């Protein structure tokens, strides 16, 4: 914390040479679980926020941008997703967005940290909006990698919403080629995976490009896009991976029809127009993807966000 101008400040280190300062209204919770440091803060600009290992995960003001971008392009691209798995997503917002699709019959959410989920249930109701208590939801508190190594379940959509890989964090083994090969065996032939992939900032996109290259070594069809997330102060990358889907080719009228069929009417970021816009990347990012000097991420050769 830094005391200055009568404010207390939360300082987030986004890289070794860049820090973001958030003026604080209140520290709601501050503790350490078995897996990570957890803070729930009330930021003067962004409202209540979940912070894990010193990095903002979600904030009330703009979390809808990140979560709608992560969930809906993949869910709408699939013609009729009934069975969905979410890896991570402890604050319940990814779950909230999946449940908007009335065709969904079952959602399995696998999160390693039960304490974080319980804290979010208690302190962040405006974010999860009671999604945890929907009858279609099954919560599993386990290592997602172990779960998928052992389960025989097959899903229409798998959404990976985990924190960035940091040294010492268990998350780093959920970004590797070996893990994606495991996941590949748990989606149907017409299934699709959506993955949060880190910042696309040209100075800090090593992780993003490495995830892309790693997924490219496992799946034949990738679609990458970005959305600016204000609480992160940067654009954030997302990638879908599948055997056959090309979200960028989905026509505007199909997106509009599927949203209407699923009775999804109250989104704030995503619609048929946004879906089309998400297919247009800036030139620097297209060039980086085409050149892609980064390496494939392996269990014994990981890549970290910092």
Q: Give the burial class of 110: count Cβ atoms within 10 A of its Cβ; 0-12 exposed, 13-18 middle, 19 or more buried.
A: buried
Judge whether 176 and 299 are in contact, CB under 8 Å.
yes
Catalytic residue among 111, 113, 161, 271: 161
Examine the residue annotation and report whether 156 is marked as an active-site residue of this protein. no
Q: Rounded distance, CA 181 to CA 179, Å? A: 5
Judge whether 97 and 69 are in contact, CB under 8 Å.
no
Q: Rounded distance, CA 120 to CA 122, Å? A: 5
3-state helix, strand, coil in the chain (%, to 5): 35, 35, 35
Q: Give the burial class of 167: count Cβ atoms within 10 A of its Cβ; 0-12 exposed, 13-18 middle, 19 or more buried.
A: exposed
Which amino acids are annotated catalytic? 161
């Amino acid at each position: 914390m830094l005391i200055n101008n009568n404010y207390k400040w939360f300082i987030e280190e986004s890289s070794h040479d860049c820090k973001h300062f958030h003026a604080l209204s209140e520290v709601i919770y501050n503790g350490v679980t078995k897996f990570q440091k957890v803070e729930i803060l009330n930021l003067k600009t962004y409202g209540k926020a979940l912070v894990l290992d010193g990095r903002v995960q979600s904030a009330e003001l703009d979390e809808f941008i990140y979560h709608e971008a992560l969930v809906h392009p993949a869910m709408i691209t699939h013609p009729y997703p009934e069975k969905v798995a979410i890896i991570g997503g402890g604050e319940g917002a990814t779950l909230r967005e999946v449940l908007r699709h009335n065709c969904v019959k079952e959602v399995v959410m696998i999160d390693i940290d039960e304490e974080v989920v319980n804290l979010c249930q208690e302190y962040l109701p405006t974010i999860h909006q009671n999604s945890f208590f929907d009858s279609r939801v099954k919560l599993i508190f386990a290592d997602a990698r172990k779960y998928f190594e052992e389960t025989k379940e097959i899903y229409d959509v798998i959404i990976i919403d985990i924190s960035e890989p940091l040294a010492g964090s268990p998350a780093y083994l959920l970004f590797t080629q070996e893990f994606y090969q495991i996941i590949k065996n748990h989606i149907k032939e017409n299934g699709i995976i959506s993955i949060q992939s880190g910042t696309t900032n040209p100075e800090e996109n090593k992780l993003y490009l490495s995830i892309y290259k790693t997924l490219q070594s496992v799946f034949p069809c990738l679609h990458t896009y970005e959305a600016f997330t204000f609480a992160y102060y940067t654009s954030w990358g997302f990638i879908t991976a599948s055997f056959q889907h090309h979200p960028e080719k989905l026509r505007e009228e199909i997106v509009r029809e599927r949203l209407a069929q699923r009775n999804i009417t109250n989104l704030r970021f995503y619609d048929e127009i946004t879906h089309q816009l998400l297919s247009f990347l800036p030139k620097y990012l297209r060039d980086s993807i085409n050149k892609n000097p980064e390496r494939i991420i392996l269990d014994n050769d990981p890549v970290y966000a910092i």
